[in-house]
Amino acid sequence: MKVLVPIKRVIDANIKVRVKADNSGVETQNVKMAMNPFCEIAVEAAVRMKEAGTADEVVVVSVGPSNSQETLRTGLAMGADRAILVETDDPLEPLSVAKVLKAVVEKESPGLVIMGKQAIDGDNNQTGQMLAALLGWSQGTFVSKIEGSGDTINVTREVDAGLATVAIKTPAVLTVDLRLNEPRYASLPNIMKAKKKPLDTMTAADLGCDMTPRVKVVKVTEPPARDAGVKVASVAELVDKLRNEAKVIS
C-alpha cells in the first residue's frame, strides 16, 4: 500500500508572529519556517507503517511556493521515499488545496492519505475533511490511534468528550492529533540521503486546478493586548484580591 502525506510549510511553532504594519498579513520575511507540527506527526505515522511492513511507499506532497521544497526534504529525511511539489504562489485555502490533493490522489492511487488535523498558521482544520469529501472517502479525524490494516481500519479520535473509536473503510483520509506519536528527528546521514531522493515538481495549473481564493482577507490586526497584572506575596493575598478586588470568587 502507498501512503500519501500532505505537508505544509509554516512559521515555526516557537516563533511569536508579528502583524505587518500595513495590516495586510503577518511578517514572514526572515522568519524561521518549519514543517507544520501536525504534518510531522503524519509523516512519522506513515514511516512507521512502512517500517512495520503495512505500507510499501511513503510519498510526501506539498502545495505552495518553491521553497516548500525544504519542507519536503525534511519529510524525505524522516523516511519518506518520494516527494511532490505542486507549485503555486497563490494564497492557500483549504478548499483549493483539497482540490489539488484530490488530483494528486487520482494520479498516485494511495491506500491511505495521512495528514495533520490543523495547520498552525491559518488554524483552519478543514483540508483533510474536504479532501475526503471530494474523493467520496471516509475520514478519520483527530486521530490518536490507528489499528489494523486492510479494507477496514479502527481509528481512535480525540473528541471534546474524550475518545471515540470508529471503524472506517479504506481508502481513507486520516487527520492526526498530537498524541498519535512523537515524530523523530532526521539524522545527519538521513538528511544527506534525502538530497538524492526524487522530488517531482508540477504546477496547480498542470493539474487543472483553479486557486482563485473564495475568502478575501480584509485586514489582519493585533489581538487585544492583556496587561501584565501584579505579583501577590502570599496565598492569602491572592484569595483576598480574587474575592474583594476582582470579585470572581465568593
Partner 1 sequence: MSTLILAEHDNNEIAAATYSVVAAAGHLSGDIDVLVAGSGCGAAAEAAAKIPGVAKVLVADSAEYAHDIAENVAPLIVKLASGYSHVLAAASTYGKNVMPRAAALLDVQQVSDITEIESDDTFVRPIYAGNAMATVQSTDAIKLVTVRTTAFEPVAAEGGSAATETVEGTGDAGLATFVSQEVSKSERPELTTAKVVISGGRGMKAGENFAMLEKVADKLGAAVGASRAAVDAGYVTNDFQVGQTGKVVAPDLYIAVGISGAIQHLAGMKDSKVIACINNDEEAPIFQVADYGLVADLFDAVPELDKELG
Ligand X SMILES: Cc1cc2nc3c(=O)[nH]c(=O)nc-3n(C[C@H](O)[C@H](O)[C@H](O)COP(=O)(O)OP(=O)(O)OC[C@H]3O[C@@H](n4cnc5c(N)ncnc54)[C@H](O)[C@@H]3O)c2cc1C
Ligand Y SMILES: Nc1ncnc2c1ncn2[C@@H]1O[C@H](COP(=O)(O)O)[C@@H](O)[C@H]1O
Query: What is the footprint of ligand Y within residues 30-49 (CB under 6 A)?
Result: 36, 38-39, 42
Q: What is the rounded CA–CA span in Å between residue 58 and residue 177?
A: 19
The reply on whether position 172 binds ligand Y by CB under 6 A is: no
The reply on whether position 189 binds partner 1 by CB under 8 A is: no
The reply on whether position 242 binds ligand X by CB under 6 A is: no
Q: What is the rounded CA–CA span in Å between residue 31 and residue 16?
A: 10
- Out of 103, 120, 134, 202, point to the residue binding ligand X (CB under 6 A): 120
Window 132 to 161, contacts with partner 1 (CB under 8 A): 132-134, 137-142, 144, 154, 157-161
Window 92 to 151, contacts with ligand Y (CB under 6 A): 92, 94, 97, 115-116, 118-119, 122, 124-128
The reply on whether position 37 binds ligand X by CB under 6 A is: yes
* Residue 186 CB, nearest approach to partner 1 (Å): 21
The reply on whether position 91 binds ligand Y by CB under 6 A is: no
The reply on whether position 31 binds partner 1 by CB under 8 A is: no
Residues 97-136, mask of contacts with partner 1 (x by CB under 8 A): -x------------------xx-xxxxxxxxxxxxxxx--
- DSSP result, 84-98: EEEE--S---HHHHH
At 230, list the grid cell: 501584579
Burial 226-244 (b: 16+ CB within 10 A, else e): eeeeeeeeeeeeeeebeee
Q: What is the rounded CA–CA span in Å between residue 187 and residue 133?
A: 37
Instruction: Please give the backbone phi and psi of residue 68, each rounded to the nearest 5 degrees, phi first.
Output: -65, -15
Q: Look at residue 49 and give its three-state secondary structure.
A: helix
Q: What is the rounded CA–CA span in Å between residue 233 and residue 235?
A: 7
* Residue 185 CB, nearest approach to ligand X (Å): 14
Residues 5-34, mask of contacts with ligand X (x by CB under 6 A): --------x---------------------
Which of ligand X, ligand Y, partner 1, none interacts with 235 (beta carbon under 5 to 8 A by kind)? Answer: partner 1
Closer CB to ligand Y, 91 or 166, in the complex: 91
CA distances from 15 to 9, 31, 72, 109, 124 (A): 14, 8, 21, 37, 19
The reply on whether position 13 binds partner 1 by CB under 8 A is: yes
Largest CA distance in the chain: 68
The reply on whether position 21 binds partner 1 by CB under 8 A is: no
* Other residues' Cβ atoms within 10 Å of the Cβ of residue 87: 17
Closer CB to ligand X, 141 or 170, in the complex: 141
